[in-house]
Chains A and B, each alone.
Chain A
Amino acid sequence: MKVMAGKYLVIFITQMKNLLEYKINILLKLIRPFVMTAAVGSLWLVLFKLTGRDNIGGFTRQSFIIYLLTIRFIAVFSPGGASIAEMNEEIRTGNLAMRLVRPAHYLPWLLFRNLPVPFISGITGLILVSILTVLLGADLPKAGMMLLFVCSVIATITLQYAIYQGIGILSFWIYEVFPIERFYKSVSGLLSGELIPLTIFPATASEVLQFLPFASLAFIPGGIFTGVFTFEQALVRVIVQWTWAAILWGLVITTYQRGLEKFEAQGG
């Protein structure tokens, strides 16, 4: 087991070395999420000012900024489109063959290859978010709620990887999977609470949306951190998140096995 984990750790380290060959690329990856947060945040601040309201959808100006920072921090852990592109290319060109003839499982191989960027972004993001949270004078969740928040963030990341790997795996059947990724991002942007907190939707729609997998990607962890939920509500939502993560990973692994049977390993 130790050796097994060791090989994936070396895959991670090797990819980190690859990444460090392109330092400007890393720098831009680090900055990009915060530029996007500033853009969305500015829009909401303008909205607060224009409406003259102190509270929109249960969020004050301050809690809204913290909500945005929280979900942006979680989003930096997403494997992103690069992981889909890599899988798509390896399946389409047949280069997946080079991975299959080595004693390492492909899905964790890909997972660890895609971790260095989130790892670097996550550390810098954590520092930045912590400083801003203190500066904004936010009340941090109490111990029990903080524990649920951590569980929720891990579930979100697990779910994100399942979704991205799932879209990549479709390359066994579909030549071009990027339109699916773009469609997913659009739907997810709307239904996950990434742009608009789900509490702003009509009550029934908001309730339903909170139990779909999209909410697990942003609204649930963001809501737990900013105190939208009671402890019991948060606990139920974290359980829902892990249930979705288990279902999606089950689907990903099954679909991958089916895909391998269909794999043609094009080219010499």
Chain B
Amino acid sequence: MAEPIIEMKHVCKSFSVPVKGQQGWKSIFYRKNQTVDVLNNINFSIDEGEFIGYIGPNGAGKSTTIKLLTGILYPSRGDIRVMDYNPHRDRYHYTYHIGVVFGQRSLLEFDIPVMDSFKLYQAIYELDGRLFQERLDEFTHLLKLDDLLHVPVRKLSLGQRMRCEIAASLLHRPKVIFLDEPTIGLDALSKHEIRQFLTRINQEEKVTIILTTHDMGDIEQLCERIVFINVGNIVYDGPLDTLKNNYITHKDIVIVYEEPIDVPDAFVSLLKEKNITTYTFNVPNAEVVSIVPALLQLGAAYDVSIHEPTLEDVVKIIYSNHIHA
């Protein structure tokens, strides 16, 4: 059995933050600090070629995990290995093999054409001229960069810039890619193009990808496995389908009747929403097939549809369960 490409064992991360409300002269020279635990005993391993969705609410510890995996932060406790490197200790050599995209930060030079930034990264990653050109041609085609290469970065739209950011991060053919909200703020078309591109390099080049995002569309379309983190703890690690099956216990049956109906007592508990002649019933999965005919008997209906909660809904359920736990 192949060794995992990424391994986190018993990883904890805490930050020291000043205690609020310290005043007076003494506080200039001495500040009391308190320790805030951001990650608690994180364990997971990832195999080569996997596409992982690393999700969780704001402040859950997603970005901290990515920063630990990329060597930006030092763990307070525990071991991290990526491709046999210790990310923070071997950071210089390690970074030749990883690609990192932070959706909210830029690695392109703002005032000069995109191509100059690409050439900068060609030098930083010590890329051979021919290989660089091949890769650039490939990305120019896949990410439609033809018209962007000679435009100063400050003149690009967000979607155009993000395509260039992704290209700049992957020119050196990294084996592992960390994407922190790469589609944030993008329109539907730009998201689609980036998702297609990521799917392609994951499948064709067997690149391992870890994606953190709040966009459940990204997760549904790209990831087979989900790692769900909340308040610094992993609360789910497994296939996307299993996550859905565990949490999707009911479906919505929406029926539009020709005129308002009286809902019998037997179905009142299932009625979720009523809007003039549109009735939404929330029914356990196992009973959907048997209940639909009965509901259609309640009045003359001219439309019926069955809705499964989206991943977005599932995530909301998990967030609220854990927040209120």
Chain A positions within 8 Å of B, measured between CB atoms, are: 3, 6-7, 9-11, 14, 17-18, 21-22, 94-95, 97-98, 100-105, 260-261, 263-265, 267-268
Q: State the CA gap A98–B125 with chains docked (Å).
A: 14
Q: Which residue of A lies closest to B99 (CB)?
A: A101
Minimum CB–CB distance from A9 to chain B (whole Å) comes to 8
Residue contact B112 to A264, C-beta cutoff 8 Å: no
Let me know if B100 and A6 touch, CB within 8 A: no
A100, B93: Cβ atoms under 8 Å?
Answer: no
Q: Give the complex CA separation of A265 and B103 in angstroms.
A: 14
Q: Are B124 and A268 in contact (CB under 8 A)?
A: no
Report the count of interface residues on B (CB-CB < 8 A).
Answer: 37
Q: A265-B72, A265-B73 are in contact. Are A7 and B123 (CB under 8 A)?
A: yes
- How many residue pairs, one in A and one in B, have C-beta atoms under 8 Å apart? 86
Q: Return chain A residues, CB-CB under 8 Å to B106.
A: 98
Assess the A263–B72 pair: CB atoms within 8 A: yes
B120 within 8 A of A: yes
Contact among B15, B104, B111, B123 with A264 in the assembled complex (CB-CB below 8 Å): B15
Residue B197 at the chain A interface, CB threshold 8 Å: no
- Chain B residues lying within 8 Å of A98, measured Cβ to Cβ, are 102, 105-107
Which of these, B63, B93, B105, B119, contacts A10 with CB under 8 Å?
B119
Decide yes or no: A104 and B124 within 8 Å by CB, A10-B119, A268-B180 being known contacts.
Answer: yes
13 contacts between A and B (CB under 8 A): A6-B123, A7-B126, A14-B109, A14-B112, A14-B116, A21-B111, A100-B71, A102-B95, A102-B125, A103-B95, A265-B67, A267-B105, A268-B63
Q: Which residue of A lies closest to B73 (CB)?
A: A265
Residue of B nearest to A21 (CB): B111
A97 touches B102 (CB 8 A): yes
Chain A hits for B74, CB < 8 A: 260-261
A99 and chain B: residue at smallest CB distance: B107
Query: In the complex, which residues of chain B have a beta carbon less than 8 angstroms from the beta carbon of A97?
Result: 67, 70, 72, 102, 105
**B91 located at the interface, meaning its Cβ lies under 8 Å from any Cβ of chain A in the complex:** yes
Instruction: Provide the residues of chain A in CB contact with B79, threshold 8 Å.
Output: none
Contact across chains for B92 and A101 when beta carbons are under 8 A apart: no
Whether A101 lies near B100 (C-beta < 8 A) is: yes
CB distance from B153 to the nearest CB of A (A): 11
In the complex formed, the residue of A with least CB distance to B64 is A265
The reply to whether A18 and B111 form a contact with Cβ atoms under 8 Å apart is: yes
Compute how far the CA of A14 lies from the CA of B111 in the bound complex, rounded to whole angstroms.
10
Cβ contact of B125, chosen from A18, A21, A103, A265, cutoff 8 A: A103
User: In the complex, which of the residues A18, A102, A265 contacts B112, with contact meaning CB atoms closer than 8 Å?
Assistant: A18
Which of B67, B72, B93, B111 contacts A103, CB < 8 Å? B93
Q: Once the chains bind, are A105 and B109 in contact (CB under 8 Å)?
A: no
